[in-house]
Chains A and B, each alone.
Chain A
Amino acid sequence: MKRTRLLERIGLALPKSPLGVIIWRELVDALRDRRTIFAAIVIPMILIPITLNMPLFFMSPKQNPPNVALVQLDPNAGTFVNLLNSTEDMTIHWIPASANTTDLVLKNTYDIVVLIPENFTSLVISNKTAILAITFDSTNQRSTIGLSIIQAIQTQYSNFIVLNRLSTLHVDPNLLTPIQIKSTSVRAITSAQAIAGLLIPYFIGILSISAGASFATDTTAGEKERRTLEVYLTMPVSRIKIILGKYLGVSALSLIGVTCQIIGVLLGFSVYTSLYAELVGQTSQSLTLGALNILTIAVSALILSMTGNALLMMVSIFAKSFKEAQQYSSVLTVGLVVPLIVVMYLPPATLSNLIFLPFLGPVTLIRNAIFNIWMLDQLIIGLASSVVYLVIFIYTALRIFSQEKAIFRV
């Protein structure tokens, strides 16, 4: 009851201009629709951090280290076994030689089985090649992680033996490395920035476009279906004001939605970087962005979302029913994912030439802001072209709305 009166008071306090009143009604209508609010804002805000982190959480060796079975037939292989046993990233269990290793891995009793043959040490000492037999399951993440950990230990141990062998023979170890690489990156990018540049543009892009979808379809096709549009058309308000009011209402709602969801992404992402760092065995780095970078990301996301909403309004007005509008908007959302994925794989120079494309432009700008790439002309072209697309979409929406056929299902 109290909340109702509050909304009323806001409505009564509005100036007489129809635009403000139209937006007010859109917001009241949407806020009353708990299911939509829940589906468009609350669910993604909870789901995104979970889905973002779930896979890494399962993969992280600290949380759930690979279970390694060891068949040690050579009692003298202590040095190597100690190396295997020294890492916390896997747990070692000694099992008898009689065990069926394939079966144990298939049934996932162990993720991986390592067999150290009887002649292991003697072959190593006599400058020959010893065989380390490993049984693993390539469809099991923990098994392949275990494999790479064991391989790393094996390489480390092998290098140590090689150096020993060479020094016994009085040979310079450089004999083994005729060529060495010295690489210089043209950009100073931390690993946190690298992951952020890969994921954040994608998430912000998807969210900005999809957050307004349910509101846009509800206020156009939904209103057509509930037959409330007819009264609207008998009121002394021009159709452009109706469309603009609805569009601004949808944009305000999607902005609230996007903001909540981006907070979810950022929270999720901070957990993600630490889990990822743990997985690859590095210390966790957090992403720090300057004020200008954050501002650029925010403005790009806003423009992206406004353009997305304009497009959604356009197709939803065209649709004859709510269901049809929903289908269009889900096709659109999926269709827009493609350019967003493309962004993640193209080098910045290539993207510069595509900056004028709808949706791709602002997403590229977000990525550039994360990577600290600043090009003023890009910024201007990217944002200005988006505004042009936005106006085209709104204008088309208005044209469709002015047609009787689009309003009445004749």
Chain B
Amino acid sequence: MFPVYSIPEGKEAMVYSISVESITKYLGKTLAVDHASFNVQEGIVFGLLGPNGAGKTTTIRMLTTVLKPDEGTAKIRGYDLVKDAVKVREVIGVLPEDTGLYDRLTPAEMLIFHGKIRGMDKKEILEKTEKYLSMLDLQANRDQKVGTFSKGMKQKLALIRAVFHEPEIIFLDEPTVGLDVMSARQIRKLISEESGHGTTVVLSTHNMWEAQQLCREVAVINKGKIVSQGTIEALEQLTHEKDLEDVFVHLVRGEVTE
């Protein structure tokens, strides 16, 4: 609704859904995110790539208004992360690192809770519940307590919650980690579909193959710093590596592999 127009050097005008400027976060004494800056174009799937402990989750937590940056700022759909936090929350959907599902609720109840909080009406909630549960093969588990779900089922349900209210931007923190091939595939399919409808997707992962499949652009983060950002081809050219995994290792280690 309020796209940010900015003109990076030597490029054409672009519409950014998210523009991050030098955000920094200390967690205790750890510098978890160190002056990170990047921009995300509207409607694309954007990958946040980095090894364990790189600062992916902390970055996502700041962009989803759960944590306040110690320094720097970011605009989500034109809204300031800190000043317009409630506005930001209205346009996003989130799948956090720990799925954050209520174990004692059923999927149907959980979606009622989220739908109602997001201002959806009864009909829409019921229709979407049917649609998404059948899309991800959870229809049979509609009235089963989430506490009895497997990891993959939980991950799928958490993804449904993230997209349920048709947000303009969704943040997914390692959406397919630890899932079997079939479940991961279903999740990737849903992500592509949502993106196809114009939703901007930010996902963190350390699965290079997945990033290659899904992401138009990626940013590589290491030790809290953004090491590089661009399309996958651009990064391949930059590092003279042929596949993304080598690109990743190159950027993270700061060295070329054989």
Name A's B-contacting residues (CB within 8 A).
1, 4-5, 7-8, 11-14, 16, 18, 21-22, 24-25, 28-29, 32-33, 226-231, 233-238, 404, 408, 410
Contacts and interface: CB of A to CB of B under 8 A. Distances in A.
Interface stretch (B118-126, B200-208, B219-227): B118-126
Given A21-B113, A29-B102, A16 B119 contact: yes
B74 to A, nearest CB: 15
Given A25-B113, A410-B28, 18 more contacts: A7-B109, A8-B112, A11-B109, A12-B122, A12-B125, A16-B121, A28-B104, A28-B109, A29-B105, A226-B103, A230-B66, A231-B96, A234-B65, A235-B117, A236-B90, A236-B118, A237-B89, A238-B86
**Most interface-central of B64, B92, B105 (chain A CB within 10 A):** B105
A404 B68 contact: yes
A238 B90 CA distance: 12
Given A12-B122, A12-B125, A228-B100, A1 B116 contact: no
A226 B102 CA distance: 8
Contacts of A21: 113, 116-117
Interface string B86-118: 110110101010101111111011001110111
Nearest to A1: B143
Given A230-B96, A234-B94, A404 B67 contact: yes
B56 interface: no
Contact of B89 (A16, A29, A32, A236): A236
Contacts of B90: 236
Contact of B104 (A1, A22, A29, A238): A29
A219 to B, nearest CB: 11
A227 B118 contact: no
Contacts of B216: none
B117 to A, nearest CB: 5
Contact of B145 (A14, A25, A32, A234): A32
Nearest to A33: B104
A228 B109 contact: no
Given A230-B96, A233-B65, A28 B28 contact: no
Contact of B112 (A1, A11, A235): A11
- Of the four ranges (under 10, 10 to 19, 20 to 34, 35 or more), the interface on chain B belongs to 35 or more
14 contacts: A4-B108, A4-B109, A7-B109, A11-B112, A16-B116, A24-B113, A29-B104, A32-B145, A228-B101, A231-B96, A235-B118, A236-B86, A236-B117, A404-B67
Given A11-B113, A12-B126, A236-B89, A25 B67 contact: no
A106 to B, nearest CB: 57
Among A13, A25, A29, A234, find the residue whose CB has the most chain B CB atoms closer than 10 A: A234
Contacts of B117: 18, 21-22, 235-237
Contacts of B96: 227, 230-231, 234
B64 to A, nearest CB: 5
B118 A4 contact: no
Contacts of A28: 104-105, 109
Contacts of A233: 65-66
Contact of A234 (B27, B92, B125): B92
A8 B109 contact: yes
Given A29-B105, A410-B27, A231 B94 contact: yes
* In the complex, the 9 A-B pairs of residues with the closest C-beta atoms, listed nearest first: A32-B104, A231-B100, A227-B98, A236-B89, A21-B116, A11-B112, A236-B90, A234-B94, A234-B64
A5, A21, A233, A408: residue with the most chain B Cβ atoms closer than 10 Å: A233
A111 B130 CA distance: 75
B161 interface: yes
B128 interface: no
Contacts of B87: 236
B166 to A, nearest CB: 14
Contacts of B92: 234
B61 interface: yes
B125 A231 contact: no
A404 B100 CA distance: 17
A281 B76 CA distance: 80
A228 to B, nearest CB: 5
A11 B143 CA distance: 14
A230 B100 contact: yes
Interface string B48-80: 000000000000010011111000000000000
